[in-house]
Chains A and B, each alone.
Chain A
Amino acid sequence: MLENYLPILFFMIIGIAIGAVMSIIGFLLGTRRPNPEKDSPYECGFEAFEDARMKFDVRYYLVAILFIIFDLEIAFLFPWAVIIKSAGLFEFIAMMIFLSILVIGFIYEWKKGALEWE
């Protein structure tokens, strides 16, 4: 089985090698004459207005967390989809209970307006 992943290993090695070679060549051959003006952060040619870190609406995190939860749900669905053709009623009912529990959460989320945007 592991032989099937050999191309991926080669792909990783070549990817790392190309990335490293490019960085090293740039480091060795590039001219570097830094001065404080060059090193200072800028924003489209003018001085930066503010720091990149600031207060964010908590809804961005809510969307990300809900995405992670449904992502995990999908991860549970994959083995089920593989075996369902040969499986019996028990596996089917087990997954239906699993999904119905999460659908309760989905209905709550919908009714609460957690996915609504202003």
Chain B
Amino acid sequence: MTTTLIFYFFAATLIFAAFRVITVRNPVHAALFLVLTFFSSAAIWLLLQAEFLAIALVLVYVGAVMVLFLFVVMMLDINFAPLREGFAKHLPVGLTVGFLILIEMVMVVTHWKGLANPSTVVTTEMSNTKMLGQVLYTVYAYPFEIAAAILLVAMIAAIALTSRLHNRAKYQKPEQQVVVRREDRIRLISMPAEPKD
């Protein structure tokens, strides 16, 4: 009973925050509402006893991804007014994409065994992290390695996109520093003594 109430509280918060993400005018506020959305969904996952996923959502998305979002939104000199223009022009494309995503989600949710009955929360003594670990590295080992490959591609793409400028970094070379001799640095010049005034 209490769990249901808590669920409805977080679900209402999530829907409200997700709605505000797309309606609020200030992009910084939109990013903060997205943080609230992630946080509410983490709470809902926690209610489903998916502890590890909930904490990972908070750590990875709220802690890292949204910080990058906020950094971009707050610091970059983008004029956001032109981005809001052309709402009617982009509406058909947006509606089509949204409709397709809706159909896909309905198909997934209605055809997935175990989701049809919402009360089938796994209630075992074993922790969620342990259960995840027992299948992730054995049954789903192949998708797991694909995740590594995707992360590798993302890393290389990020570096390749940003390092087009030549590297102007200055290095210290200790091996050259230690072999320096006195003659490389100091030159003694013999000069005639100047008369004292």
Contacts and interface: CB of A to CB of B under 8 A. Distances in A.
B136 interface: yes
A9 B47 CA distance: 11
Interface residues on A, range: 35 or more
Contacts of B145: 94, 97-98, 101
Contacts, number: 141
B77 A83 contact: no
A97 B136 CA distance: 14
A39 interface: no
A116 B74 contact: no
A56 B132 CA distance: 40
B110 interface: no
Nearest to A1: B49
Nearest to B63: A71
Interface string A77-118: 011101100010011001101110110110011001110111
B161 to A, nearest CB: 8
B147 interface: yes
B134 A71 contact: no
A76 B52 contact: no
Interface residues of B, number: 51
Given A64-B68, A66-B158, A2 B3 contact: yes
Interface string B147-173: 111011011101100110001111100
B174 interface: no
Task: Specify the main secondary structure of chain B where it touches its partner.
Answer: helix
Contact of A101 (B65, B78, B129, B148): B148
A91 B138 CA distance: 6
B94 to A, nearest CB: 27
A69 interface: yes
A97 B71 CA distance: 33
B75 A105 contact: no
B129 A118 contact: no
A25 interface: no
Q: Which of B147, B162, B168 gathers the greatest number of chain A CB atoms within 10 Å?
A: B162
A53 B70 CA distance: 12
Contacts of A76: 136, 144, 147
A5 interface: yes
B60 A71 contact: yes
Contacts of A60: 71
Given A71-B59, A94-B137, A97-B148, 17 more contacts: A5-B46, A53-B77, A53-B78, A56-B75, A61-B68, A64-B68, A71-B63, A76-B136, A78-B52, A82-B130, A91-B133, A91-B138, A102-B151, A102-B152, A105-B151, A105-B152, A112-B159
Interface of B: 3, 6, 46-47, 49, 51-52, 56, 59-60, 63-65, 67-68, 71-72, 74-78, 127, 129-130, 132-134, 136-138, 141, 144-145, 147-149, 151-152, 154-156, 158-159, 162-163, 167-171
